[in-house]
Structure formats: structure tokens, C-alpha cells
Structure 1
Amino acid sequence: MAKPDLNAFATARIAEGQVSEADVITLRRFIYGDMAVSLEEGAALFRLNDADLTYADTWYELFPEAIGDILVHQALPRGYVSEDNAAWLTGQITADGHVCSRTELDTVLHVLEKAREAPESLEKFALQAVADSVISGKGATRSGADLKPGVISDGEVEILRRVLYAGAGCGGIAISRAEAEILFDLNDATVEAENAPAWSELFSKAIANHLMAMSGFTPPAREDALAREDWLRQPGGYERGLGGFFRKMISGGVSGIREAYADAPNPLAARGAAMEAEIAANEVVTEDEASWLVERIGRDGVLHENERALLKFIREESPNIHPALQPLMDKAI
């Protein structure tokens, strides 16, 4: 159970209506005094956050940091967010019946950016929260901002970019079908709006990423990493183990991916054997992907500017245009 004093402290702060700078320092001592953060302590923090108090600025640093430590650094294998813990996080956010707040969205982003791998459901939750906020004009991205419902601002484009390329969720840099669907829904809902110019570029490149994703960046499965905890403890430590694996992948481009997999134990080393063929194959838009894109673009019967930009980008980047896309390509010229 959570420390009784922490729950009592949270209750007192709620009754007082504020969390001061001194309170944040006290909270840090409660939480990190034993060098570990529990789910119960996380629930106490959510209770404080849901109370809609007056908060010191440092609260907005402590809250995502502590929740991130619970989900990313405390559970084994470290860096891998389980389905259960992702469900706990979204359950805490939605428990009060209100839309996701900016503080809660920042917390989800913190988890996604710190994790090596997280369930796709968590990234989809964050992306949907931003889309809902844009369309409704309230929620995670609208606090304190004079923004029109149904209009995507520059700030919201950057938040969407952070969610999509957080480095976790569905295959790291790869955009999943579920994420692509949310982006198309958001584009359809704001098509006549005076959106930030950066939205068109993000939309077209993200959808093209989904269609031509380089899945070689996918990290090892959580179960594989859990079964190889001894890998982290080999001579040379973290640098030679899982940490070195990810560092090579991120810093070395395609050659770094090959090197990371080549140095890793089986079955990860075997993953690198098909890498070059997989990268080349994924650059080609398949029949299934082409059919999906034709159906999505044709839902409202109009070819919009962002969709034209998407088709132009695909035409320039893909080595082989599927015949099913040719009629759309002809319209986009």
C-alpha cells in the first residue's frame, strides 16, 4: 500500500486548495525517500492532479517524472512498458471522467519518450487526445490558449509530431495503421480550416511513413528482453548490453541497425539477416496499402490539398507506384 503519510499529505493539500513549492519538495521526499516509486504512490499523485488545485510550477516537473519512473524505470525489464501498466496509466487519466489535461498528456509523452518500447494503445491514446482537443476546442492542447475549435495550431502540430515520433509505441519511428487513421480523421475534420502550414507537411510525411515504413528500427520484444536480463549484466555492462544495442541503432542509420543486430545475441542477430531486403520491400507501396489509401482519400469524394501533397510525396519517394494509385496520382498533378 502507499505510504499512509503520503495519502494524508495529499488529502491535506486538497483541503487547502494548493500545492506549493515547499509541498513539491515534501512530495519528492515521500516518493523518492526509499529510492522507489509505487503504483499506489502514483495513484496518490493522480488524486492531487485531479483535484484541480493551484500548483507550483515545479509540480508540472514532478508529476510526469514520477509517473515515468513508475512505468519505465521500476518495472522489469527496465525501459519496457507493459500492457497492464499502460492500461493503469490511461485508467488513471480517464478515472475522473474529464478529458485528458495538458499535464496528463505531458505525462504520457514523457513515458513514450523515455521508454524503449510501449504498447501501441498508449501512443494511440495520446494521439487521439490531441485530435479530440483540436476538434472540440478544449482539453489537452487548449488550456489557457485562445484557439478556435477545429483549427490546428503550430503548437498542436509540434505536439502531434512528438507523439508520432516519441520513439516508443508501435515500432518506434514507424507510423501504424491506427495512427494513420486518426491523422486522416483529423485532416477530414479540419479540411476547410485555416490550419498551421506545418500541418500539411506533417500529415503527408506521416502517412507516407506508414505506407513506406522502415521497420528495421523495431526494438526487441519485451518478452525477449525480459528473458535476457543477464545480457545487461555481461562484462562491459549496459554499454555492451541492451543500452549499446539501442545506441547503435539510433546513431548509425541503416549501418548502425545492421551493426546492432549483428552484435546482439540470438534471436536478435537473426533479425538482421533479412534487414536489407525488408528495408527495400517496405519502400514499395503494396496492394493492400494502395487500396487503403484510395478508400481513405475517396471517403468524401474530394481530393484536398493535404492529400495532393501526400500523393506528390509518395510519387517522389516510392520506387514503384502501385497501379491502384495511378488514377489518384493523375488527379494530383
Structure 2
Amino acid sequence: MAKPDLNEFVTARIASGNVGDDDVVTLRRFIYGDMAVSLDEGAALFRLNDAELTYADTWYELFPEAVADILVNQARPEGYVSDENAAWLIAQIEADGHVCSRTELDAVLHVLEKAREAPESLEQFALKAVSASVISGKGATRAGNELKPGVISDGEVEILRRVLYAGSGCGGVAISKAEAEILFDLNDATIEAENAPAWSELFSKAVANHLMAMSGFTPPSRDVALAREDWLNQPGGYERGLGGFFRKMISGGVSGIRDSYAVSDPFTARGASMEAEIAANETVSEDEASWLVERIGRDGVLHENEKALLRFIREESPNIHPALQPLMDKAV
């Protein structure tokens, strides 16, 4: 059971309709006084958050911090979020029947960013929460009358980027198929909207990362692969894009290590093998081509973001699978 005094305090704050700065200080004393945060104490915080009161700014610092401490810093082994704890967090967020709020999304992101490893289900939950907020016009990303349902703003692109960055803590360096599917669903749902230009860039780079990540070799980290840069609209943009980075990364890395190790013959051979492996895996496979054709053709229309993705693949992939050629011919 949670400490009775904490539950009584939470009940009193809910009755008052307000959580002030002094209340947040008191909450910190309740929670951290014994140098440990329990799941029951976390549940009490969610009850306070779900009440939709007037909160001091410091509440928005305490809430995600405490949730991350429960699930990451006090986990055993430390830093590893278990399936059970991830399920607990999702259940707490869904308990009130509302779309994930921004405060709750911040808590999920704190957990993902601080964790050494977390279930992919938690990151997918965050992606879906952002997508639902965009489409419905309320929830995790919505603040301000200037935002419209079904339209992706610049701020929401950056939240999506942050969620995808955080996913590297789930043990996934490259974008997974499940993540790419969620991004495709969001793209389909907002295709007629006047989305922020940054959405086209993020969508294309993320899906390309999924398709072109190399098997048998660790691709670049997500913060590099998904860094914000206007590469779709720059001269030579594709060469500066994800596939070009793969080649340059390995080329520069190999030569740098070769210099360090005085160019030993075994290492030279390994470097040549790595470069050949990269070239082979930049080719979109039959399974990948079939998935992409099915996914792009789901609504029967080839949209601008999908054309940008196909142009990227055409520039970066040494061999285009025949199944993609009809789509490539339309991506002008």
C-alpha cells in the first residue's frame, strides 16, 4: 500500500482543485523522503494528474521525473524497464479513458530516454499517442487554438522525432517495421492536410532508415540518421542523405582505424569485406520491395511524401528491385 498520508494529501489536493508550488515541495518530501519511489506512490501521482487540476509549473517537472525514477533508476537491474513495468505505465495512462496527455507523454519519454533498454511496446505506445493526438485534435501534443485536427505542426514533428530518438534505448538502432507502419498510417491520415514541411523530411528519412539499414552491421545512431536537416530541398540532397551517410561513415571510420593500426593486412581485408557488405545491404530486398509496394498502394494514391521516399531510394540503392520500378517511374 502507498503511504496513507500521501493518499490523504492527494485526495485533499483534488478536492481543492489546485496543486501549488508548496504542494509540489510536500509531494517531493512524501515520495523521496525514504529515498525510494514505489509503484503505489506512482499510482497516487497518476490519480492527481488525472484529476485535471490547476498545476504549478514545478508539477510538470516532478511528475515525469518520479515516474522515470520508479521504472528506470530503481529497477533491478538498474536502467532496464521490464515488460511488467512498461505494462503498468501504459495501464496508468489509459486508466482515465482519455488520450495520453502531454504530461503523461513526457513521463513516457523520460523513461525511454533514461533507460538502457525498454520494451519496444512502450515506444510504439508513444508514437501512437502522438498520432492519435494529431488526428483527433486533442491530447498529448495539443496546446493552443492555432493547431487544427488532422494537421501535423512543426512542434509535433519534433515530438515525433524525440520519440524516435528515444527508441534507440529500446535496443533498436534502426527504425523497426512497426515504427515505419505507424508513420505510414499517420501520413495516410493527414495526406490532404497542410502539414509542416519538416514532416515530409522526417517521414522519408525514417522509412528509408528502416528499408536501408544494414544487416550484420550497426547502422548510424538515430540521432544522426534522423537529425533535422533540409536535405530533401538542397542540391545534392540525396547524396547527403541517409544512404550516403552509411557509405561515408564506414569509409571514414575504416580509414581512421586503419591509420591507428598501421594498416595491417587482416584489417584491410576486413574493411573491404565491410564495404562490400554495406553495398549489398543498401539494395532493397524482395521482401522490403513487396512491403513498400503494398504499403504505398494501400490507399490507391501515390502522394508527395511517398514520391520523396522513392526518389531517395532510387538515388541511394545501387539496384532497384523490379517490383518497385512502376512506382519509381511515377516518382518524378
Does residue 326 (structure 1) correspond to residue 306 (structure 2)? The answer is no
Counterpart of 1:60? Answer: 60
Q: How many Å apart are 1:313 and its aligned residue?
A: 1.1
Change (3 A) 1:16 1:278: farther
Counterpart of 1:130? Answer: 130
Counterpart of 1:120? Answer: 120
How many Å separate the matches in 1 of 2:200 and 2:212?
18
Q: How many Å apart are 1:283 and its aligned residue?
A: 2.8
1:231-270 map, 5 Å: none
Does residue 140 (structure 1) correspond to residue 104 (structure 2)? The answer is no
Runs of 4+ residues deviating >3 angstroms: 167-173, 214-218, 253-256, 275-282
Change (3 A) 1:282 1:65: farther
Q: Deviations over 1:251-308 (max 9, x none)?
A: xx7659xx9xxxxxxxxxxxxxxx9487555433211111000011111222111000
Q: How many Å apart are 1:203 and its aligned residue?
A: 0.5
Deviates more, 1:294-303 or 1:51-60: 294-303
Counterpart of 1:305? Answer: 304
Counterpart of 2:189? Answer: 189
How many Å separate the matches in 2 of 1:82 and 1:207?
28
Counterpart of 1:96? Answer: 96
Q: Give unpaired runs (5+ residues) of structure 2.
A: 220-248, 258-272
So what's the TM-score if we normalise by structure 2? Answer: 0.80
1:293 counterpart letter in structure 2: L
Change (3 A) 1:61 1:281: farther
Q: How many Å apart are 1:35 and its aligned residue?
A: 1.4
Q: How many Å apart are 1:192 and its aligned residue?
A: 1.0
RMSD: 2.3
How many Å separate the matches in 1 of 2:296 and 2:207?
12
Question: How many percent of aligned residue pairs carry the same amino acid?
Answer: 83
How many Å separate the matches in 1 of 2:317 and 2:293?
16
How many Å separate the matches in 2 of 1:188 and 1:328?
17
Deviates more, 1:10-19 or 1:55-64: 10-19
SS in 2 for 1:129: helix
Q: How many Å apart are 1:12 and its aligned residue?
A: 1.1
Q: How many Å apart are 1:2 and its aligned residue?
A: 1.5
Counterpart of 2:228? Answer: none
Counterpart of 1:156? Answer: 156
Asked if the contact 2:101–2:139 (Cα under 8 Å) also holds between the matched residues in 1, the reply is yes
Q: How many Å apart are 1:172 and its aligned residue?
A: 3.3
SS in 2 for 1:166: helix
Asked if the contact 1:86–1:119 (Cα under 8 Å) also holds between the matched residues in 2, the reply is yes
2:7 counterpart letter in structure 1: N
Q: Give unpaired runs (5+ residues) of structure 1.
A: 219-252, 260-274
Does residue 46 (structure 1) correspond to residue 46 (structure 2)? The answer is yes
1:17 counterpart letter in structure 2: G
Q: Deviations over 1:121-172 (max 9, x none)?
A: 1111110111111111111111334311111100000001111111446533
Deviates more, 1:50-59 or 1:315-324: 315-324
**Pairs aligned (count):** 284
